[in-house]
Amino acid sequence: MTSDPTPHPHPHPTPPSALQHIQSLPTWLVGRVAARGRILVADAIAAEGLKLVQYAVLAATAEYGPVTQAELGRRLSVDPKDMVGILNHLQHEGLVLRSPHPSDRRKNAVTVTPEGSAVLVRCGALAEAANAELLAPLAPDERGQLTALLARLHGAAPA
């Protein structure tokens, strides 16, 4: 009897560890990339003196204004107490105005000032640069493909 000198592949590959399995899941990877992206954008817009939530409130005010504080909170899922502080900061910086709402004088209507609009433009450019840094490892066509796939997943999510 002669032994066969040909090596045989291991019949059962070693299964990944629980940690390797978790870290290979798309949900894990998307979350980690999103966290890095948020940090990059937050760091970029900090140059304008804004935090991400303040930037979002300013953008929503520009989009929906004049808008009540309560409506901004609902649209952005921001607690009303937190919204007051955010708007206080934005108003102190001259980026928004609060005045009595035209249809219900008991409520405040929030609008963006010209300076607020200028800050939005600058923050938009800073956010674009941060996203370009995040996506730098991808080829231009891959960036477009990734964005399209993420938009499709986002659009398929329940409201």
CA 110, distance to chain mean position in Å, is 23
pLDDT > 70 in the chain, percent: 92
pLDDT range class, residue 158, cuts 50, 70, 90: confident
Range of the domain at 57: 31-137
Residue 111, in any domain of the structure: yes
Res 6 pLDDT > 80: no
Asked if the structure places residue 5 within a domain, the reply is: no
| Mean pLDDT over the full length of the chain | 91
Span 54-72, mean pLDDT? 94
Closest C-alpha among 49, 46, 43, 44 to residue 94: 49
In-domain check, residue 16 = no
**Band (12; pLDDT cuts 50, 70, 90):** confident
Peptide bond into 66 cis (omega under 30): yes
Q: 131: closest CA among 69, 39, 66?
A: 39
CATH code of the domain covering residue 129: 1.10.10.10
Rounded-to-10 torsion of CA 124, 88, 66, 58: 10
Residue 19 counted as domain residue: no
Q: Given this model, what pLDDT does residue 9 score? A: 61
Return d(Cα 19, Cα 29) in angstroms, integer. Answer: 13
User: Is the pTM above the cut of 0.85?
Assistant: no
- Could you give the number of structural domains in the chain? 1
Q: How far is CA 27 from the centre of its chain?
A: 16
pLDDT band at 26 (very low <50, low <70, confident <90, very high): very high
| pLDDT confidence band for 7 (50 / 70 / 90) | low
Q: Is residue 18 part of a domain?
A: no
Q: Which residues pair with 110 in a beta bridge?
A: 67, 98
